[in-house]
Structures are given as C-alpha cells and as structure tokens.
Structure 1
Amino acid sequence: MTELHENHGQLTVNAAGRSWTLERPADLESLWQSMDENDPEAEEHIPYWVELWPATLALCGWLARQDLAGRRCLDLGCGLGLSALVAANLGAQVVGMDYEHGALYFAARNTRINSVPSPLWVRMDWNNPGFAPASFERIWGGDIFYEQRFFEPLENLLLRSLAPGGRVWFGDPERTVSSTVWSRFSRRGWRVRNQGQEVVPFEQARMTVNVWELFRPQ
C-alpha cells in the first residue's frame, strides 16, 4: 500500500517498505502555467516529471518483490527518481534516464536526501538512445505510453538494449491511448503478461494501474 503526502515542496511517500522524501520545484500545474506559450518546442517539454504518478508507485511495489541485487537496470523516464532509488536500495546497478535536465537535477538531489547508492543519471532522448547493445537485464517505466508515437522508438530501444533473458516492466494506468500497446507488442513477438493491478490514490481519486511484463522468447 502506498501513501503520498506533500509539505512545502517536498513529497513524502511510503513505498517498497520504507519512507521516501522527494524534492521538486513546484507542481505540474504551476510549472505548466509558467511556460512560454509561443515556444514552438513547448509541447516537448511539458514538465510531467514533477509529478509522482500512480504508475510509478505501483512499479515500486513490484520492484520490491523482485531479485534486483547486482542486476544492470534501466529506468526509462526516471522523473524525480523514485523507482530508480527503490532499485538502487535493493542493490541494483541502475541507470536513470530522462530527457529533461530538471528531472535529473532533482533525481540527484533526492538520491542524497534519501541516502541510497546513487544511480547513474543520464540525459538521453529515447528516440536516439546511446546505450551499448544488450546493456540491461531489467528495464522499466511508469506511464510512458501516453502518446502513441512513443511506441516505435521505445520498442527499438528495448530490442537493442535488453540483454538476452531480460525482463521489461511497465506500470500503466487504464488509458485508452495505451490500451492496444500490449497486443501490439505480442504481435511483434514479445511475450506479454499482466502481473496484476494496484489501485493507487491520486489527487482526490484513485487510479487502477496494471503492471505488464515483457520478454523475448529464447
């Protein structure tokens, strides 16, 4: 069960068996309103990373039940860093990847605040990833299929970066836009399993999140 509270710019969340404190500059609505509406690239830089999304919280619970000690792991779209920090606390060798400088800055701050071994924080565009082939035994991301155009570059990254026998985990809320993603992966030769649901409190409501596992047959 996860619980989330905010106080003076800090989020406190109970996840994966311990309490975490996460700093952020402001909430999504405040940062969004401060963006330059005339910036042609504004849509590519909407600060979704400042929120702690229910899919990430569900993923943290899943990660806590896995054997990650010593495994090479990649957190796609790491945001404030929580799921990468959970994995690092479990002994994983983690790379936290995000496209936004702000996300990586606060992820690094949150590493120090929570006194866990630091992941390697990397600024990278998943459309042009720079990882060596078969780099990671475990790859995950929370709520990252919120636009259909992300499917092709993300699958290409997985095909290149996942080690033989590796596993991919996605926390995904029940959104219309991502509802066909899992059958699409299946048609392309992936083994796809729904590993269960968690109902996570979010704002003044509750959101149902599925945890999906993907792997390539040997």
Structure 2
Amino acid sequence: MSDATLDALDAALDARFDTVTETIRLHDEGARESFDIRRPRSAEALIDEDAFAHDERLPYWADVWPSARVLAAHLLQEGGEGKRLLELGCGSGLVAAAAARAGYEVTASDYYAEALDFTRANVRRAAGVDCETRLVDWRALPADLGHYDRVVASDVLYEKPYAALVARALAHTLRRGGVAYVTDPGRLAAPEFVEQARALGLDVGQPVTRDVEGYGTRQTIRLYRLRRR
C-alpha cells in the first residue's frame, strides 16, 4: 500500500465514520511501544438493529479492549522472525499492528468488513507493511484459510457458542508445532473453550494473568497458550 493509497483509505473511513485516533501505550504491559490506532469514536453509534435481529451481531470490533493490549504486548516481546500469524477477530487492528511491527507475516480476519478496512490502515501506519485480511465467519471457516505458526485472538469468548467455534478455528488453522494465544478477561465461555480445545487435541497451559486498567475498572486478563500436539 502506497502512502497515497493509505491516505485515500483514511479519507474513505473518515467519510463513512466519525473517527478518532487513540494512542495506545503498552508500557504497563511490559512493552515499550505506542500505537496510534484510528477507529470509530463510538461503537454504540454503529449498532444495526437489523443485523442484531439476524444473528445478534454487535460492533465490538470498534473498541480497543484491555485483552487486546495484553496480547499485543506479548507478541511484541516474543518477536515474530517472519513466522506466519493469523488473528481471529482483529477489530480495529491493534494486535495485528503489534504483530506486524514484531516481524510476523500477518493475516487479520474478522466478521466485519469495516474492521478489516481499519486494520489495513492501522497496520500500514504502525508497521510500514501491508497485512493480508480475510472476511471470516467462524461458523463456516474458509477451506483455503491455511495453517499458521501463530494463531491469536483477544476477548472473543463473550458468548457461549463461541467456545466451540474458537477452539475449532484454532485446531483448523494451527500448524503442527504451532502455538496459539488467546487473551480473556473472564468471559462466560472461557472454561468451556479450554475443554473444547483439549478435546480437539490442543495442549492448553495454565494461563498467565495480568492486571490492567480498562473502561474505568481494573481487569484481570488471562493469557492462554495452546499448542498443537
């Protein structure tokens, strides 16, 4: 993506959304990096009643959640070294941007096409490289999605059905010997997700916890590490 193409994409997003650029500093999570993430100003303003009636879709992608901060910081510390990484539910792109800056070859996926547009722009601005994006519905994973050294997701277990769907997506896309990271603030589906992942042949380690501030409260974020046997 050239600078002119990035400018055109930013202009198109500004025309469609009331946008804001939020500076995300990851110092509290142990990293020493900052990211200017452009996103819609208000997720609530994006709620579509017809979309919610169809499949209870809500625009969670438009916020930068504490779990994403923890996952982004972890990937920066780990380093990518050219490994292929898939993000499930990229939102506005903080984790994808951090992964690209860390040296991963990033494929970012989401259920919302708008999220992919913001992610492409934010990754290019933050890391100076382009990432691949895929529109992905976990209920119908594309056959050509491929296999990755790292598969990551942050705060995606907020509905019970997502436990099995996320576990299956990891098992489907993680190459043998690969590692997945999932960060979660204690959502409803997290315990069942662990069970489902183990049933699908993934080793799930004891989660690492980190306390972070977010949305006016202090949250304990769990980072799960999963490995294909």
| Secondary structure, counterpart of 2:206 in structure 1 | strand
Matched, 1:10 2:21: yes
- Residues 1:158 and 2:173 aligned together: no
In the alignment, the residues of structure 1 paired with residue 188 and residue 51 of structure 2 have an alpha-carbon distance, to the nearest angstrom, of: 29
- Residues 135-144 or 58-67, more deviating: 58-67
Task: Report Cα offsets for 1:29-75 as digits up to 9, x if no partner.
Answer: 2323xx3368632622x110001011111111211221311101101
Q: Which residue of 1 aligns with 2:91?
A: 79
Partner letter of residue 76 of structure 1? L
Bigger shift: residues 82-91 or 125-134: 125-134
SS of aligned partner of 1:180: helix
Distance 1:66 1:152 in 2: 27
Question: Any conservation in 1 of the 2:100–2:123 contact (CA below 8 Å)?
Answer: no
Structure 2 counterpart of 1:211, which letter? L
Q: Does 1:28 align with 2:40?
A: no
Q: Decide which structure has greater helix share.
A: 2
Shifted more, 132-141 versus 179-188: the winner is 179-188
Amino acid at match of 2:44: E
2:129 paired residue among 113, 117, 120: 117
> May I ask how many residue pairs the two structures share in their alignment?
207
Per-residue Cα deviation, 1:130-179 (whole angstroms, up to 9, x for no partner): 25476201000001111111223322222221111001100011233323
Q: What is the 5 A alignment of 1:11-160?
A: 11-15=22-26, 16-32=31-47, 35-36=48-49, 40-41=53-54, 43-44=56-57, 46-132=58-144, 135-160=147-172
The structure-2 alpha-carbon separation of the partners of 1:47 and 1:131, relative to structure 1 and needing over 3 Å to count, comes to same
Residue range with higher mean Cα deviation, 13-22 or 179-188: 179-188
Structure 1: where are the runs of 5+ without partners? Answer: 1-7
Over the aligned positions, Cα root-mean-square deviation in angstroms equals: 2.1
Letter in 1 for 2:41: A
Identity of aligned residues (%): 27
Number of the residue aligned with 1:203: 215
Q: Which residue of 1 aligns with 2:15?
A: none
Letter in 2 for 1:23: R
Which residue of the partner structure matches residue 194 of structure 2? 182
Q: Give distance in 2, aligned partners of 1:39 and 1:157.
A: 23
Partner SS state of residue 53, structure 2: coil
Deviation of residue 206 (structure 1)?
Answer: 1.1
CA contact (8 A) 1:31 1:47 kept: yes
| Residues 151 and 213 (structure 1), Cα distance of their counterparts in 2 relative to 1, 3 Å cut | same
Q: Report the counterpart of residue 173 of structure 1 in structure 2.
A: 185
- TM-score norm. by structure 2 comes to 0.82
Unpaired stretches in structure 2, ≥5 consecutive residues: 1-18
